[in-house]
């Protein structure tokens, strides 16, 4: 099947990408979303991630902060986590109303390329999920500004960067159907995750109510297995959803599971480090219960708050 120029937008980069995907995978860009904000070309996202986000978080940011005191971002992080809870909850709700609680077949849901209200609602939910993944990049920026560079692990960066790429591709080429289960489950997990981060940001007095934080990582691993099993259903001969989605979703899901499981084993299964102990889920190091160097955020002077520690192997989730 040859390349259809009517499916391409202007610009050599995006035209080449569309041609490769159309010729090799027989998936045209979705005509409903291809002109939406940040959807016209992958160049915008590449510049943001490769030339701004990664250099700042790994090199430029730590260099700029080397002789500066960490920023006190407690109120900013509380507000950020609150907005993330609302944003993720809204996307989860839209995903349900756009299909998964409104007629979608859980065993195999084909693409609906129409402009019906339900199909457009799901397409918008997929685009919002992509925007949410861009907002998630602020997690790392906050780590750098607070000089918590040990939190900027390979798992943390891989998770953020890959999710931006996957969500962009999903929005441009497959904004609906079977593959949207990933965004639905992930948005639900993020509601729980950012709720925890928001509550913990209020200070040490909240810790006694946050005994369940170790289960956040378990929840994420269960999510990955659910996505993997659900993605396998695409391979049914009778399923008409583009089977190429399996190539992009399944390997990445397995990588996520491996990395998160490795983190979980380091954080919970291995013996405590020397000079430290765990008592009732609280790490202590002989300094009035203050745990420094490798925690899920700041534990100093009685103030404790964190973001995105769930996927930072260098942080200890009690």
Look at the alpha carbons of 86, 91, 96, 97 in this order and tell me if their dihedral is positive or negative. positive
Section 286-297 average pLDDT: 40
| Structure tokens belonging to residue 318 | 């009690």
Residue spans per domain, the chain = 66-311
When pLDDT is cut at 50, 70 and 90, the band that residue 15 belongs to is low
Specify the 3-state DSSP secondary structure of 106.
Answer: coil
When pLDDT is cut at 50, 70 and 90, the band that residue 213 belongs to is confident
The percent of residues in the chain predicted with pLDDT above 90, rounded, is: 55
Distance CA 24, CA 3 (A): 10
Query: Which residue has better confidence, 72 or 27?
Result: 72
Specify the 3-state DSSP secondary structure of 10.
Answer: coil
Q: What is the pLDDT of residues 258-273, one digit of tens each?
A: 888 888 888 777 655 4
- Provide the annotated active-site residues: 159
Using the predicted structure, report yes or no on whether residue 18 has a pLDDT greater than 70: no
Closest C-alpha among 245, 134, 184, 248 to residue 256: 248
Q: What is the pLDDT of residues 85-137, one digit of tens each?
A: 999 999 999 999 999 999 999 999 999 999 999 999 999 999 999 999 999 99
State the pTM of this model: 0.79
In 3-state terms the chain splits into helix, strand, coil percentages (rounded to 5) of: 60, 5, 35
3-state secondary structure 253-298: HHHHHHHHHHHHHHHHHCCCCCCCEEECCEEECCCCCCCCCCCCCE
Using the predicted structure, report yes or no on whether residue 197 has a pLDDT greater than 80: yes
């Amino acid at each position: 099947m040859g390349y259809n120029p009517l499916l391409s937008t202007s610009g050599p980069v995006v035209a080449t990408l569309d041609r490769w995907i159309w010729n090799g995978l027989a998936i045209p860009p979705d005509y409903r979303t291809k002109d939406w904000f940040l959807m016209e070309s992958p160049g915008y996202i590449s510049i943001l991630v490769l030339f701004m986000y990664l250099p700042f978080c790994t090199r430029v940011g730590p260099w700029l902060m080397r002789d500066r005191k960490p920023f006190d971002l407690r109120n900013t992080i509380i507000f950020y986590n609150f907005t993330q809870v609302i944003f993720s909850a809204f996307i989860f709700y839209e995903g349900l109303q756009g299909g998964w609680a409104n007629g979608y077949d859980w065993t195999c849901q084909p693409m609906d390329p129409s402009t019906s209200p339900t199909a457009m609602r799901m397409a918008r939910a997929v685009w919002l999920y992509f925007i949410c993944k861009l907002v998630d990049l602020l997690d790392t920026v906050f780590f750098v500004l607070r000089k918590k560079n040990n939190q900027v692990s390979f798992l943390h960066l891989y998770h953020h960067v890959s999710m931006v790429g996957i969500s962009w591709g999903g929005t441009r080429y497959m904004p609906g159907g079977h593959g949207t289960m990933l965004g639905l489950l992930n948005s639900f997990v993020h509601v729980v995750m950012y709720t925890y981060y928001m509550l913990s940001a209020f200070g040490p007095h909240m810790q006694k109510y946050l005994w369940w934080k170790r289960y956040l990582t378990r929840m994420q691993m269960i999510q990955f297995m659910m996505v993997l099993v659900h993605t396998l259903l695409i391979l049914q001969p009778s399923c008409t959803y583009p089977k190429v989605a399996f190539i992009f979703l399944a390997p990445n899901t397995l990588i996520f599971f491996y990395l998160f499981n490795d983190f979980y084993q380091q954080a919970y299964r291995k013996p405590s480090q020397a000079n430290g102990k765990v008592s009732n889920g609280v790490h202590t190091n002989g300094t009035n219960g203050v745990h420094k160097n490798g925690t899920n955020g700041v534990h100093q002077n009685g103030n404790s708050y964190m973001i995105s520690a769930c996927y930072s192997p260098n942080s200890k989730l009690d």
